[in-house]
Structure 1
Amino acid sequence: MQLRDCSHDLESGRPYPGDPPVSVTPHASFEADGYRVADISCSTHSGTHVDAPSHMLADGKFLDEFSVEEFQFDAHLVDCTDHGEREAVGADAIPGAAGSTDVDLLVFHTGWSERWGRREYFDHPYLTERAAERCVDLDCDVGLDTASVDPTPTRNASDDEPSGYPAHAALLGADSLVVENLTNLAGLPERFTLHAYPIPVAADGAPVRAVAAFE
């Protein structure tokens, strides 16, 4: 069994527009105190993270309402590396084979993680509302190597892009989980297991250590 880390370092990159940045500040030092303790501050959607339904829904489930088993996924990799800047990924990109009963996560590989830490990272491809609904129809959660399943507002946004968060609404409204800011997806087999465990917190999301396991 091979393991591959599919997580960005929490301190790296840029915060999602409007979110607080990550900071890791020394609180106690070995020299002064004989031990080290650091203060970590970040949003619930920093780095590679998982969205819970409460992220977008007033009455949505929080992370602590999901069992730990629900963060181990039988994943199917969807190749979307032919999609460019701010290009929509439609339902036709989702292969029919993904509907098999032993798949519970569709991972959209766009290659956008190569832009991590740069401003253009936020001009990523995104899922259409119909693509998100197709994932729900297949009873699949979603992972992707971009900042969001919906378009991220930047100065490059066009008037014909969807407003609001329709893909989030479709997925989270069905109690699906969304794992964002994955990386290192190139070369993974079409089928693999993704472990993406958040810290045990009653929150709308949390950073995860995402690890792919495959033969």
Structure 2
Amino acid sequence: MTLRDCSHPIEDGMPVYPGDPAVEVEPAATMTADGFRVHRLALSTHAGTHLDAPSHLEPDGATLGEYGVEAFRWDARVVHCDPGREGWIREGDVPEAGDADAVVFATGWSDHWGTERYREHPALTPDAAAQCAGFEYHVGVDCPSVDPAGSEAFPAHHELLGDGRLILENLTNLADLPERVTLHAYPIPVDADGAPARVVAED
């Protein structure tokens, strides 16, 4: 069995989605001053590698607290794809329905983490997102969003979250994953619209 960490570490000043609160990791107590160490964390529910719950964009959508812990362990198909110059993950990239709970699109975009280019990322077409929802797949991507940068309508999010699917964003370390893995995507236990998650692929 091989375990691979697919999460970006939570760090002070790490990249965030445009308009989201900054991530802060600051000492609240130090060994020199207090004889022990404590840090204060300030971050949004969509910082770093994180899960989107339906309530993120759906008025009556479920929060993470409405899912049992078993909902965050997925038998996943990994699709290594090249979105091309147009940057789209299309219907043809979506594997046929089978015995998987999720599909993870590995585009290599996490290589641009921490650069300006990371913001201009691949995205799912609305039809591809609808196909994933129709096949009852949760979806993971190695970029900031399943919708393109600057989107205001968020069609891919609505296709997936409106069907009760979960979305994993800002995955990393996907390049060497085989086509099938068990994906453990356990969020911080907060009853909210999303949460940072420690994501581990098992093969």
TM tier, smaller: over 0.9
- 2:182 matches 1:193: yes
The answer to whether the 8 Å contact 1:5/1:210 transfers is: yes
Is 1:117 paired with 2:147?
Answer: no
Give the match for residue 127 of structure 2.
130
Equivalent residue, structure 1, for 2:43: 42
Shift in Å, 1:85: 5.1
The percent of aligned pairs where both chains have the same amino acid is 53
Q: Give the equivalent residue in structure 1 for 2:58.
A: 57
Question: Which residue of 1 is the match for residue 149 of structure 2?
Answer: 152
Summarize deviations over 1:115-174 as a string: whole Å, max 9, x none.
000011011110011101101111110001010000012xxxxxxxx7510000010001
Q: Tell me if structure 2 keeps the 8 A contact 1:126–1:150.
A: yes
What is the distance in 2 between the residues matched to 1:190 and 1:10?
Answer: 27
Post-superposition, which runs of at least 4 consecutive aligned residues in structure 1 deviate over 2 A? none
Match of 2:202 in 1: 213
Q: Which residue of 2 aligns with 1:91?
A: 91
Q: Name the amino acid aligned to 1:9.
A: P
Partner of 2:31: 30
Partner of 2:8: 8
Paired amino acid for 2:32: E
- Provide closer, same or farther for how the CA distance between residues 20 and 8 of structure 1 changes in structure 2, counting only shifts above 3 A: same
The 8 Å contact of residues 14 and 23 in structure 2, kept in 1 or not, is answered as no
Q: TM-score, normalising length from structure 1?
A: 0.91
Per the alignment, in what secondary structure is the counterpart of residue 57 of structure 1? coil
Which ranges in structure 2 are unaligned for 5 or more consecutive residues?
A: none
Cα distance in structure 1, aligned partners of 2:85 and 2:194: 26
Gaps of 5+ in 1: 154-161
What is the root-mean-square deviation in Å for CA atoms of aligned residues? 1.2
Distance 2:85 2:144 in 1: 13
TM-score by length of 2: 0.96
Q: Which amino acid aligns with 2:5?
A: D
Deviations 1:51-103 (A, max 9, x none): 000100121111110000000000001121x223551111111122xx11x20
